[in-house]
């Protein structure tokens, strides 16, 4: 299975700060890159997704930056809030609804 | 819209018994459903992909005779863990997509504990 590498493994950010999580992929056939948020004991929920024809996508406080040549993409959470404390997973697939390869996850804690 | 449910949310079974987990798409027809397993503090690992009316495709290393998947209708897929053992204890999550939707929508997960 093609890997998606995610970093950091854990992250502590002060309330109001910017949280940045990075992912890198190997398979150049991937063309759909979603980010998921997961709270303990719950299934993952789609936050935002991007396709490689754009370099950035913003939805509210969440922004994906995409670098096709470097095969990297990142999630930026602006004005981080304690309610954002969760585990975040990047993923990649060939086609939007096809099987996803997940990153290893980042446990985010936003402190007051 | 695009809600996926799972039942049960939590199940305990004895070693050697079988347990069935249901995954339902509540407001759309799911042509494809996926089953994932997640161990504590780890990522989601795809177990199998099922298309309505056809046999599931299992990922390498997943025992198809142990993890039976049935996708008999456009709104229901089931995962049966046969002859469960303590090492099968995990969080099982399904997702679903329709032909018209670009994304996968995930269920809330089922916590399986085998004693």
Span A33-44, pLDDT tens digits: 999 999 999 999
Would you say residue B99 has pLDDT above 90?
no
B contacts of A48 (beta carbons < 8 Å):
none
Answer whether residue A96 shows pLDDT above 80.
no
pLDDT value of position A99: 87
**Hey, are the CB atoms on A104 and B106 less than 8 Å from each other?**
no
A28 or B53, higher pLDDT: A28
A36 interface with B at CB cutoff 8 Å = yes
What separation in angstroms does the CA of B107 have from each of A31, A69, B103? 24, 34, 13
Helices (H), chain A: none
Tell which of B42, B43, B100 to mutate to test the A interface (max A CBs under 10 Å). B43
What's the rounded mean pLDDT across residues B30-36?
A: 93
Tell me how far apart the alpha carbons of residues B68 and B72 are, in angstroms, rounded to a whole number.
Answer: 12
Give yes or no for residue A1 having a pLDDT over 70: no
Residue B101 has pLDDT above 70, yes or no: no
| Longest CA pairwise span in chain B (Å) | 41
Cβ-based neighbours of B61, under 8 Å, separated by 6 or more: none
């Amino acid at each position: 299975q093609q890997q998606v590498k995610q970093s950091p493994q854990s992250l502590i950010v002060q309330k109001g700060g910017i949280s940045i999580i990075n992912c890198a992929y190997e398979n150049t056939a991937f063309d759909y890159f979603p980010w998921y948020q997961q709270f303990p004991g719950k299934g993952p929920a789609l936050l935002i997704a991007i396709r490689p024809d754009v370099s950035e996508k913003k939805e509210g406080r969440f922004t994906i930056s995409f670098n096709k040549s470097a095969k990297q993409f990142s999630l930026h959470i602006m004005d981080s809030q304690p309610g954002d404390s969760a585990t975040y997973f990047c993923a990649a697939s060939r086609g939007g609804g096809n099987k996803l390869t997940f990153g290893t996850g980042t446990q985010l804690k936003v402190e007051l | 819209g695009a809600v996926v449910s799972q039942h049960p949310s939590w199940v305990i079974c004895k070693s050697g018994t079988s347990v069935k987990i249901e995954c339902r798409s509540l407001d759309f027809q799911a042509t494809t459903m996926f089953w994932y397993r997640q161990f504590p503090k780890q990522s989601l690992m795809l177990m199998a992909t099922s298309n309505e009316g056809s046999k599931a495709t299992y990922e390498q290393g997943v025992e198809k005779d142990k993890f039976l998947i049935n996708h008999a209708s456009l709104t229901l897929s089931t995962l049966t863990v046969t002859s469960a053992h303590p090492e099968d204890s995990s969080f099982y999550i399904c997702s679903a997509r329709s032909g018209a939707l670009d994304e996968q929508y995930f269920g809330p997960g089922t916590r399986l504990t085998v004693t």
